[in-house]
Structure 1
Amino acid sequence: MSETIVVLTEQPLLDADAANLTALHPDRDVAYHVVLPGRTGRSLLVELIDRLSLFELPDRAGDERAATDRARPEQALQASLDVLERAGATATGEVAAEKPVDALVAAVRAHDAHEAVVITVPHAVEDTFHTDWATRAQDKLGLPVLHLYSGSSFIGDS
């Protein structure tokens, strides 16, 4: 019987994200349950500060991040499940109607998961003040929550 790792992501998973996830436990039978929020609930001002801190211009033509931000949640979820399947992983998922951290906590409990992963792009304000999803989820769950930055192998400080 496989164990479940619950993954909260704010945008469609990338191939690099799937590679990072599957590398966590290559010797164990693991299934993934992806939670993608219908709305992130992020402030536009905080989003602008985040993008400027990464030297991104929010209205830049062809901005891949802006395009994925506009993807419908159902499409983003399916894209994430497809990426995990291509990486050889078993995955299910849901679009959460509630707040992202509350949805992650509910999914961890529903799947009796002992591990949770949050995958986001860097968020200067939340990461600096430890109000990011991973830190908040860790406080609510009482178990370690790994925070990975999308498209890289960098680990957040939660």
Structure 2
Amino acid sequence: MADLIVILSEQALGDGDAQRIVALHDGEELRYHVLVPADTERNLLVDVIDHLSMLELRKALDAVRGREPSDDQARTSASDALEVSLTALRGTGVEADGEVTADDPLPAVQQTIDTLGAREVVVVTRPHAMEDTFHRDWASRARDELGVPVLHVYAGTTFLG
């Protein structure tokens, strides 16, 4: 059976993201398990700072005005992101499955590692000014808690976190 790589992503993987992730282990026979959190509990201050740091003024204003998605919308969005991600990965010729997780995805990542024997975790996020700076982002927490190699990549780019 092929080794497993867990991908924890806060958004849908694009075709380029999938290709870059698969290329990390070119020539190896691997399976991928994608976890996408249904982010139902957002921190208003962190969201506003993240949007402002990326010059996303409209999104920052929407966050202040409370125009965040409902729990059902967040779960639907996560399910859609999961399906798009699986399609992108499968389009590269690899085996991929996945699931939607709770707000804090690290327990689901740990369970996947314990149950399925994953050898590595790839965390895919947008840049987050507060979390990245203070090492409270998923990748930093995963490195501290999981006991397997963790790679942090920024969605849509070749940058590593």
TM-score, length basis structure 2: 0.85
- 1:30 maps to what in 2? 30
The CA distance in 1 between the partners of 2:40 and 2:135, in whole Å, is: 17
- 1:5 maps to what in 2? 5
Task: Tell me, yes or no, if the aligned pair for 1:40 and 1:99 is still in contact at 8 Å.
Answer: no
Per the TM alignment, residue 110 of structure 1 is displaced from its structure 2 partner at its CA by 1.6
- 1:17 maps to what in 2? 17
Per the TM alignment, residue 142 of structure 1 is displaced from its structure 2 partner at its CA by 2.0
Comparing 107-116 with 93-102, which one deviates more in the overlay? 93-102
Task: Tell me, yes or no, if the aligned pair for 2:4 and 2:116 is still in contact at 8 Å.
Answer: yes
Q: Which amino acid aligns with 1:111?
A: L
Shift in alpha-carbon separation, 1:131–1:32, aligned structure 2, 3 A:
same
Q: Which amino acid aligns with 1:155?
A: L
Secondary structure at the counterpart of residue 57 of structure 2: coil
| Consecutive unaligned residues in structure 2, runs of 5 or more | 61-67
In the TM superposition, 1:7-156 aligns within 5 A as 7-39=7-39, 41-59=41-59, 72-97=77-102, 99-156=104-161
Task: Tell me, yes or no, if the aligned pair for 1:10 and 1:40 is still in contact at 8 Å.
Answer: no
Per the TM alignment, residue 78 of structure 1 is displaced from its structure 2 partner at its CA by 0.7
Shift in alpha-carbon separation, 1:33–1:109, aligned structure 2, 3 A:
same
| Consecutive unaligned residues in structure 1, runs of 5 or more | 61-65
- RMSD across aligned positions (CA): 2.1
1:61-113 CA deviation, whole Å, 9 max, x = no partner? xxxxx9xx966221111111011111222100001136212221211222101
Give the 4+ runs in structure 1 shifted more than 4 A: none
Task: Tell me, yes or no, if the aligned pair for 2:50 and 2:129 is still in contact at 8 Å.
Answer: yes
The CA distance in 2 between the partners of 1:79 and 1:34, in whole Å, is: 11
Shift in alpha-carbon separation, 1:24–1:40, aligned structure 2, 3 A:
farther
Structure exhibiting the larger radius of gyration computed from Cα positions: 2
Comparing 82-91 with 28-37, which one deviates more in the overlay? 82-91
Task: Tell me, yes or no, if the aligned pair for 1:41 and 1:99 is still in contact at 8 Å.
Answer: no
The CA distance in 2 between the partners of 1:126 and 1:80, in whole Å, is: 24
TM-score, length basis structure 1: 0.87
